[in-house]
Chains A and B, each alone.
Chain A
Amino acid sequence: QKEVEQNSGPLSVPEGAIASLNCTYSDRGSQSFFWYRQYSGKSPELIMFIYSNGDKEDGRFTAQLNKASQYVSLLIRDSQPSDSATYLCAVKRRQGGKLIFGQGTELSVKP
């Protein structure tokens, strides 16, 4: 079992729709969860992080964490073609521990 799993996609959504990106992790002791966006040929850039169960909103982005289910998701409202990228989920198992990345989900937003 992979430590951090994501559906590789591609996930295709129409412009203006909600894109839902999912991530599961295997270590129950994981404490910090990060979403990065990576455009083709570019380096990852941080979108959001979340530590507590529940929802965290930042603009069009909402991160959701459910530690009991070992599940973290990213919702993108009013998706735009410029949101088309690969979204990486990353999990840190303990304070100071290394960041474990999923393989990423490719999102395509169609005009």
Chain B
Amino acid sequence: ETGVTQTPRHLVMGMTNKKSLKCEQHLGHNAMYWYKQSAKKPLELMFVYNFKEQTENNSVPSRFSPECPNSSHLFLHLHTLQPEDSALYLCASSHYVTAGGIQETQYFGPGTRLLVL
């Protein structure tokens, strides 16, 4: 257990459905991240939130909509997804410290495996 939890762990949805992924961290971190991991491809950063403010959107399609109500919770709202969006979606958290160092190490949740039919 890394202190980062994600629900659900598995999700199957149709292209017209709307669903949300949830992430919660119990590490006292103030930065949270969404990553996408597809087979045989590197982890792709999707969004970054620092102190609840979005600081990075890595050219993610608008059918993915993040929400960060506080530093401990992060959501990814999904709507009208495509089959190619099927992947493992990973949440991570870290301290955000401009001076760098160990506090920026990211810790990952267990992921949500998403299948879009």
Contact = CB atoms under 8 A, between A and B. Distances in A.
Interface of A: 4, 8, 31-32, 34, 36, 42-46, 49, 51, 88, 90, 92, 95-96, 98-99, 101-104
B100 A95 contact: yes
Contacts of A90: 43
Contact of A49 (B98, B102, B111): B102
Contacts of B42: 4, 88, 101-104
A96 B43 contact: no
Contacts of B88: 43
Contact of B105 (A8, A49, A103): A49
A46 B107 CA distance: 7
Interface of B: 2, 40-43, 45, 48, 56, 58, 88, 90, 96-102, 104-111
A36 B43 CA distance: 12
A45 B105 contact: no
Chain B binding surface, main DSSP class: loop
A9 B107 CA distance: 25
Contacts of A42: 110-111
Contacts of B100: 31-32, 92, 95-96
Contacts of A101: 42-43
A85 to B, nearest CB: 14
Contacts of A98: 45, 48, 56, 58
B45 A99 contact: yes
The winner among A36, A98, A103 for most chain B CB atoms within 10 A is A98
